[in-house]
Amino acid sequence: MQNLLELTLPELTSWLAELGHPRFRAVQLWQWIWQHMARSFDDMSSLSKALRQQLSELAVIRWPEVDRIQQSSDGTTKFLLRLEDGERIETVLIPSTNREGNVRWTQCLSTQVGCAMGCTFCSTGTMGFTRNMTMGEILGQILVARDHLHDTRPQWPVLRNLVFMGMGEPLLNYTNLERALLSLNENGGLNFSPRRITVSTCGIRKGLKELGESGLAFLAISLHAPTQELRARLMPGAAKWPLDDLLDTLNSYPLKTRERVTFEYLMLGGVNDGPEQARQLIKIVRAVRKSKINLIIYNETPGSPYREPSEDRVLAFEKILWDAGITAVIRKSKGRDIDAACGQLKVSAMQEEAGA
């Protein structure tokens, strides 16, 4: 059985063409799957009964299953989803209120089951790598989350932005990432333009080049340390690509109009949050002409050696950057009461199941 979530629009078109159907049928089917979020062929009223019958014999529309949902006091909603082979991944919906007072949602998406990069502060990193997620699994997260929003929110909820900051390293699964980004950009489907999508990476040479050439998303780089030495301690996998080389590549990265590279700097108490590191960070940011910094407060994980930084140190760190004329914004991650940082829900679910 062909899971139709796994086909891009061109692939769906040729799949239907082989069955003798014209292109406009593929467009209709695409709309049913991605725009109307139909899960059964019976609902597809604009298709003939014969075609619906044929589809139900040859294909399925298989969404990831919801294993559990947790909601934080700030509205952040975290889903643990079960994939076809039983593997589980996480996705998070994060609300924010815009200037007009309307709630807009951002979804954080996973791209791999686990991660091979082994960052020492990251729950996903400590799980190791299991496998890449397919295009249908990546986009299936959006279908599940939208469905949940429609069911639970009185007004039509707006899923505004997508960030690839969930489990896994997106650029190590570039083929499926690109297929997902292309599908998001298709008319008549989920309709997310590249300006509403951010891909976060710890920095992978080959994938970075490909993402830049594709122009399919904004770029965020997980920096987390201002020197090669400290970075190698915190992010042993990522640091195999020397920091100087990464910065050089970022300088020639093809940016969109008004785009700047976002550096993410996860602040770990007593590890990378001192004034010396802030001054070193200034040099790095200046080395990349168009860039800005998000300072992220570490969300403590049981069993992890790292601690949340003190507020004084965070503010002092930010001030050093501001005094140097560098744009830095502090981001206290939402959903802290539900383990909403990368990989944390899966870890606590596994611990509960193991009786811990």
Residue 220 beta carbon to ligand SF4: minimum distance, rounded to whole angstroms: 11
Whichever of 52 and 292 has its CB closer to ligand SAH, that residue is 292
Q: How far is CA 281 from CA 244, 292, 314, 321, in A?
A: 13, 11, 14, 8
**Closest residue to ligand SF4: CB criterion:** 125
CB 253 within 8 A of CB 265: no
Least Cα distance to 207 among 243, 235, 249 occurs for 249
Give the burial string for 85-94 (b: 16+ CB within 10 Å, else e). Answer: eebbbbbbbb
- The β-bridge relationship of strands 88-97 and 103-108 is antiparallel
The count of chain residues that interact with ligand SAH, using the rule CB under 6 A, is 17
Least Cα distance to 143 among 345, 302, 4 occurs for 4
- The partner in contact with residue 299, picked from ligand SF4, ligand SAH, none with C-beta cut-offs of 5 to 8 angstroms by kind, is ligand SAH
Whichever of 52 and 313 has its CB closer to ligand SAH, that residue is 313
Residue 150 beta carbon to ligand SAH: minimum distance, rounded to whole angstroms: 27
- Here's the x/- map for ligand SAH, 174-213, by CB under 6 A: it reads as --------------------------xxx-----------
Q: Of 169, 318, 342, 352, which is the active-site residue?
A: 342
- The partner in contact with residue 91, picked from ligand SAH, ligand SF4, none with C-beta cut-offs of 5 to 8 angstroms by kind, is none
Tell me, yes or no, if 119 is annotated catalytic: no
Whichever of 4 and 180 has its CB closer to ligand SAH, that residue is 180
Residue 2 beta carbon to ligand SAH: minimum distance, rounded to whole angstroms: 30
Q: Of 90, 137, 178, 264, which is the active-site residue?
A: 90
Residue 224 beta carbon to ligand SF4: minimum distance, rounded to whole angstroms: 8
Restricting to residues 215-274, which ones interact with ligand SAH according to CB under 6 A? 222, 264, 266
CB 37 within 8 A of CB 31: no
Which residues bind to ligand SF4, rule: CB under 6 A? 115, 117-119, 122, 124-125, 168-169, 202, 222, 342
Taking phi first (over 0 means left), then psi (-120 to 50 degrees means alpha), and beta for anything else, what does residue 203 get? left
Whichever of 95 and 168 has its CB closer to ligand SAH, that residue is 168
Angle between helix 243-251 and helix 275-287 axes, rounded to 10 deg: 40
Whichever of 8 and 333 has its CB closer to ligand SAH, that residue is 333
What does the alpha-carbon distance between residue 238 and residue 232 come to, in Å, rounded to a whole number?
8
Q: In one letter, which amino acid is 48? A: S
**How many other CB atoms sit within 10 Å of the CB of residue 336?**
18
What does the alpha-carbon distance between residue 74 and residue 25 come to, in Å, rounded to a whole number?
43
Q: So which residues are the catalytic ones?
A: 90, 342
Contact set with ligand SAH (CB under 6 A): 121-122, 165, 169, 200-202, 222, 264, 266, 296, 298-299, 301, 333, 341-342
